[in-house]
A = this chain, B = another copy of it.
């Protein structure tokens, strides 16, 4: 089989209806996770975990990605040895129209204001 059995490593995601606003806000209230989400939003495509060069260890990075996934903010899929991450724009927009864009805009404005390079 050329199509590797990626099916054995499925990650649990909350269904759209399971996503809670408080959990999303909590997930985004951490600077590291907010940064991840901003990066994900910039590249419309999925990104591997190792793409991010965060100032924390890999263990902590894994932790942050899990929090984001369990809050319903991102979708994670294994592709070979890499784990690809993508924003759950569709679900978030359906549940909370305009919220994600407002949050990303707010984060961008603050980054620009504080000189925290990395804004679009």
Contacts and interface: CB of A to CB of B under 8 A. Distances in A.
Interface string A88-112: 0000000111110111011101100
Contacts of A98: 98, 102, 105
* Interface majority SS (helix, strand, loop, mixed), chain A: helix
A120 interface: no
Nearest to A71: B29
B22 A30 contact: yes
A99 B102 CA distance: 5
Interface of A: 17, 20-23, 25-26, 28-31, 34, 95-99, 101-103, 105-107, 109-110, 113
Given A23-B29, A98-B98, 7 more contacts: A21-B34, A21-B107, A21-B110, A22-B29, A22-B34, A25-B103, A99-B105
